[in-house]
Structure 1
Amino acid sequence: MAKVAFLGLGVMGAPMARHLAVKGGHDVVVYNRTAARADAWVAANGGRAARTPAAAAEDRDVVFACVGNDDDLRAVTLGSHGAFAAMGRGSIFVDHTTASADVARELAGAAHDLGIGFLDAPVSGGQAGAENGVLTVMVGGDPATFAKAEPVIAAFARAVTLMGPAGSGQLAKMVNQICIAGVVQGLSEAIHFAHRAGLDVEKVIATLSKGAAQSWQMENRWKTMDEGRFEFGFAVDWMRKDLAIVLDEARRNGASLPLTGLVDQFYADVQKMGGARWDTSSLIARLEK
C-alpha cells in the first residue's frame, strides 16, 4: 500500500482515483478545484479530501494529476499552494493530463531541482477505460522513477510503457490522437457512404470488422454513429485541445500532418453545429446533416 494523492476528479480522474483506493488498496487523498466534487468522491470511496494541491500532496509517496491543460497543470504543481511545495524528496509526481511536451519538460526540471521524481503519463482508453481500469499509459521520465511508480499506476491500467525521457509520454499521446482523428474520419465517411448506397450497415460492419479495416472505433462506435447518438465519451472540445497541441508540435518539429489539420477543421464544424460536448465520433454528423 502506498500513500497517494490524486488532483483532478473529472470523468477520467475520479474513476482512476477510485481504482487506486479500491482495487489498489492505497491510502488516497483527493483534491478538486470544485471542493464539493472531492467531498462526494470521499463519501463514495473513502479516503480524505484536501482543500489545496499542497495539502493533498503532503506526506504522499506518489501524487497523481489529471487536469485540463498546461496552465491547469502549472496551477496544481507550482507556487505556495501547489503540490511541489509540499512533496518530500524522493516522492513522485505522475501527470496524466494530455498536455504539451514543453510543460512536461518544464515541470520535470522544476521537480528535479526539488528532489522530486516526475513522469508525464497521458492515457488512452477514454472514459470507459478509466471506469474499467484498463487504460493504456504512455510515460516519459527517468527509468528508476518509472520502476517505482509503475506498480501503483497498474491499479487503473492494462498497459504502462516507458517511452523515453521527459516529454516522451506526451509525444506518444500526440501520435495516438493523430491516429484516432484519421480513423474516425474514415469510419464516418464509410458509414455515410453505406447509408447513401442503401447497404445494411450492421451487416457491412459485421463483415468488415473481421478484416483489415477493423479498428477499436469500428467495434465500439459504429452503432451509435449509425444511429446519430453522441452524448457520451471523449468530447469534441477536448479533442480540439489535443489536436492544437499536436499541430503546434508539428510546426516545430517539421512533421507534415495534412489529414490531422483537415480533421481538426471538421471538428470545428461540429462545434458550430452545437456539438462541442458530443463524442468525437460525431464527425459523421457534418456529413449526414
Structure 2
Amino acid sequence: MAKVSFIGLGVMGYPMARHLKAKGHEVTVYNRTAEKADRWVSENGGRAVRTPREAAEGQDIVFACVGNDDDLRQVTLGPDGAFQALRPGAIFVDHTTASAEIARELHRAAKEKGAAFIDAPVSGGQAGAENGVLTVMCGGDAEPYAEAEPVIMSFARACRLMGPAGAGQLTKMINQICIAGVVQGLSEGIHFGKRAGLDIEAVLDVISKGAAGSWQMENRGRTMNEGRFDFGFAVDWMRKDLAIVLAEARKNGAQLPVTALVDQFYADVQRMGGNRWDTSSLIARLER
C-alpha cells in the first residue's frame, strides 16, 4: 500500500480517488473548492488539505486530474504547487488531458528534484472512472512507471507505458482523433437511416455485429436516435482536446482534415447551446 494524494476532484478525479482508498491506499485529497474535498473525506475517509503543496508533502505518489495546461502548471509549479514539496523518489502521475509539451516540461522539472513525472491521460469517461475500468496511456521513464502501475490499476482495466515523456498525451490525442471521426460517421448514418424511413434500432442491432460496430455504436447509438445528450463527455471538453490535437498537428505536420472539420461541427453544437451535451450530440446539428 502507498501513501498517495489526489489533486482535482472533478467528475473523473472524485471516483478515481475513491477507488484508491477502497484498495487500501492512504489517501490525501486537494480540490480548488475545499468543500468538495471535505465532502470526499466525509464519504471515504482519508484527509483533505488546502494546497497542492501540502498534498505532496511526504507522499509516495501524487495524482492529478485538472482542467488544462494552465491549471496543471498552477498546481505543480505555482507558489503553493505540489513540486514545491515533492520529495526525492516521489512520483507525480498526471491524468489531465493536456499537451505533450507540458508533459515534457514537468518531466524535466520533476527530475531536477530527484522525483519522477508520468503523463497518464485516461479514456473511458465518467462511467469508466466510476466503475474503475479506465484505460490509461502513459509517458515517462520505465522504473517509476513500473512502481506506479499497480497503484494506477486501482481504477483502471488497462495501463501501458507508450514511450518517453509526452507519449501518453500523444496517444490520447490519437484516441480523440478516432472518436471524433467515428461519432460523425455514426451521426450521419443514423440521420440517413431516419430520412430513409428505416427502423434505426433494428439497423443498429444488425450492423453493430459487423465491420461497422464500435464502442460508440454500442453505447451511444440508441441515445443518439432518441436525441438524448444530457450525460457523458461534454462537447466543451472535446473541443479543448481537439484544440490540443490540432496544435500538435501543426507542429509535426500531420494532416487531419476530418478532425479539423469535426471540430467545427462541435463549434456548431456549442452555438446551439450544447456545450455540456455528450459528444454524441453531433447528430443534433444534422437534425435541427
* TM-score exceeds 0.5: yes
Structure 2 counterpart of 1:76, one-letter code? V
Structure 2 counterpart of 1:256, one-letter code? Q
Q: CA deviation at 1:87?
A: 1.4
What's the counterpart of residue 19 of structure 2?
19
What's the counterpart of residue 63 of structure 1?
62
Write the distance in 1 (CA, Å) between the matches of 2:30 and 2:53. 9
Q: CA deviation at 1:105?
A: 0.3
The residue matched to 2:154 in structure 1 has which SS? helix
Structure 2 counterpart of 1:41, one-letter code? W
Aligned pairs (5 A) from 1:5-44: 5-22=5-22, 24-44=23-43
Write the distance in 2 (CA, Å) between the matches of 1:208 and 1:55. 53
What's the counterpart of residue 135 of structure 1?
134
- Equivalent pairs, count: 288
Residues 1:112 and 2:108 are matched in the alignment: no
Write the distance in 2 (CA, Å) between the matches of 1:226 and 1:79. 46
Structure 2 counterpart of 1:285, one-letter code? A
Listed as ranges, the gaps of 5+ residues in structure 1 are none
TM-score, length basis structure 2: 0.99
TM-score, length basis structure 1: 0.99
What's the counterpart of residue 52 of structure 1?
51
Q: CA deviation at 1:79?
A: 2.9
What's the counterpart of residue 181 of structure 2?
182
What's the counterpart of residue 268 of structure 1?
267
Structure 1 counterpart of 2:138, one-letter code? V
User: Would you identify which runs of 4 or more consecutive aligned residues in structure 1 move more than 6 Å?
Assistant: none
Q: CA deviation at 1:14?
A: 0.4
What's the counterpart of residue 195 of structure 2?
196
Structure 2 counterpart of 1:65, one-letter code? A
Write the distance in 2 (CA, Å) between the matches of 1:113 and 1:56. 20
Write the distance in 1 (CA, Å) between the matches of 2:164 and 2:257. 28
Listed as ranges, the gaps of 5+ residues in structure 2 are none
Write the distance in 2 (CA, Å) between the matches of 1:101 and 1:112. 17
What's the counterpart of residue 2 of structure 1?
2
Q: CA deviation at 1:240?
A: 0.2
What's the counterpart of residue 281 of structure 1?
280
Amino-acid identity (%): 75
Q: CA deviation at 1:80?
A: 2.9
Q: CA RMSD in A?
A: 0.5
Deviations along 1:194-231, one digit per CA (max 9) or x if unpaired, are 11011011110110010000000000001110111100
Aligned pairs (5 A) from 1:97-246: 97-246=96-245
